[in-house]
Amino acid sequence: METVIPSKPVMNIPIAKPTMTGDEMALIQQALTSGWVSMGPLTQQFEQAICKVTGATHAVAMNSCTSAIHVAMLIHGIGAGHEVICPSYSFIASANGIRHAGAEPVFADINPTTLTLDPEHTETLIQENYDANLINKKTGHQLRAIHLVHQLGIPGDIDTFARLAEKYNLVLIEDNACGLGSTYKLQPLGSSGFTNSLSFHPRKVITTGEGGMLLTGSTDLAAKAGVYRAHGMSISDFARHNAKATTYESYEVVGYNYRLTDIQAAIGLKQVERLESFIQRRRQIAAIYNQAFAPLPELSIIEVPDYVTRWNYQSYPLRLVDADQAKRDAFMLALQEVGITTRRGIPPIHQEPVYQQGLILPQTEQVSQTSLMLPIFPLMTDEEVHYVVEHVLNTCKRLL
């Protein structure tokens, strides 16, 4: 049998890979030897460092973004009997954090060009389903908030949603899991003053292994979030350990153990120092992809609106024009066969068994079925980027 020798060696390119700076270990060592391995000075420094790069006034570090979303709901008094508008075009945690609080997500459609919540669909949904007191005419539950997800790091239209929230007396909460380093109207995501949550999962722009952070412009809400994070304890661990006199903590709410360790904060502090260089490299890779794919009529790249003044390219989505789900899956398989890992263009939450409501969201479903995510991470070499380009173009010729 004839052996086919590939013209070039097959590469093995993951969808993402964390970039460790090399000097995390020294700071981890400091955490290990200092006696403060959880919720100590490094956690505080990490919170301050994130405030500095985002322009947020208050930051509360947690063990994940999902925990931060849950706490965001709690500090705004959102719970049983309440509903929160949320995109279905997101990772399931955007909805889970709402359910953890006892409330129910109500899924709205996205704008297919911005990939974020569609303000018009959101307003129609409010007008058609809720009475003047924001009571859902079918469920009897009260609408309390809009959860605006900055999907893939693309800022949603914060000002438009802030106006909508004001008009209907709703709370605006931002899911900023992917958005660190992106800017909206020249302002960093996280600086709006609305409660929002960041993720430091390894697929995000910076990572602490696992981790998250709640940002807010309100001193009062930040204090409440700090209490929920640590078992509902009225005095923080840090304050207790530094107190000169005996302190008596009390518990007025049922809290959680959502604390971040100083070992994770040590990693985060080193990561955040290199945030700018990480984003610059992501944007360089995206520019190469955009240039290669934009001319092809079979492919559609994402052209962000003007209010997105910087996209961090936490992920790189590509849409296959006139394709269906089967074609998209075949496209992904073809790339997998040459060692390129891709991901589906976000499975809609409303189609997952745990949330199924028989809902149809045309834009969400269409975008999801015809999109895939390409590898993008700062350590990707130019050779790897061009390898992806070459194989996307070949696959396009062969399959579309």
Ligand X SMILES: Cc1ncc(COP(=O)(O)O)c(C=O)c1O
- Judged by the rule CB under 6 A, the positions of this chain that interact with ligand X are 64-66, 90-91, 93-94, 149, 175, 177-178, 199, 201, 212
Q: Which two tokens stand for residue 214?
A: 């709640």
Backbone φ and ψ of 152, nearest 5°:
60, 15
Give the integer Cα–Cα distance in Å for 139 and 119.
23
Q: Closest distance between ligand X and the C-beta of residue 220, in Å?
A: 24
Nearer to ligand X, 130 or 258 (CB): 258
Rg of the chain in Å (alpha carbons):
22
Q: Closest distance between ligand X and the C-beta of residue 246, in Å?
A: 37
Nearer to ligand X, 258 or 331 (CB): 258
Q: Which two tokens stand for residue 390?
A: 């070459």
Q: Closest distance between ligand X and the C-beta of residue 399, in Å?
A: 28
Q: Which two tokens stand for residue 274?
A: 């290199």
Order across the sheet with 212-216: list the strands: 58-62, 212-216, 195-199, 171-175, 142-149, 82-87, 104-108
Q: Closest distance between ligand X and the C-beta of residue 79, in Å?
A: 19
Give the number of other CB atoms < 10 A from CB of residue 186: 8
Nearer to ligand X, 158 or 177 (CB): 177
Q: Closest distance between ligand X and the C-beta of residue 145, in Å?
A: 15
Identity of the residue numbered 46: F
Give the integer Cα–Cα distance in Å for 93 and 210.
14
Nearer to ligand X, 85 or 385 (CB): 85
CA 254 to each of CA 61, 71, 74, 93: distance values in angstroms, whole numbers, following the listed order: 19, 12, 11, 21
Nearer to ligand X, 115 or 126 (CB): 115
Backbone φ and ψ of 19, nearest 5°:
-105, 110
Nearer to ligand X, 293 or 348 (CB): 348
Q: Closest distance between ligand X and the C-beta of residue 59, in Å?
A: 15
* DSSP assigned state of 57: S
Q: Closest distance between ligand X and the C-beta of residue 295, in Å?
A: 30
The angle subtended at Cα 165 by Cα 164 and Cα 167, nearest 5°, is 60
Q: Which two tokens stand for residue 217?
A: 């412009």
Nearer to ligand X, 229 or 391 (CB): 229
Nearer to ligand X, 201 or 229 (CB): 201
Q: Closest distance between ligand X and the C-beta of residue 176, in Å?
A: 8
Give the integer Cα–Cα distance in Å for 108 and 86.
6
Nearer to ligand X, 94 or 216 (CB): 94
Q: Closest distance between ligand X and the C-beta of residue 93, in Å?
A: 4
In DSSP notation, 59-127 reads EEEES-HHHHHHHHHHHTT--TTEEEEEESSS-THHHHHHHHTT-EEEEEPBPTTT-SB-HHHHHHHHH
Q: Closest distance between ligand X and the C-beta of residue 197, in Å?
A: 7
Nearer to ligand X, 106 or 149 (CB): 149
Which one, of 39, 44, 41, 61, lies nearest residue 215 by Cα?
61
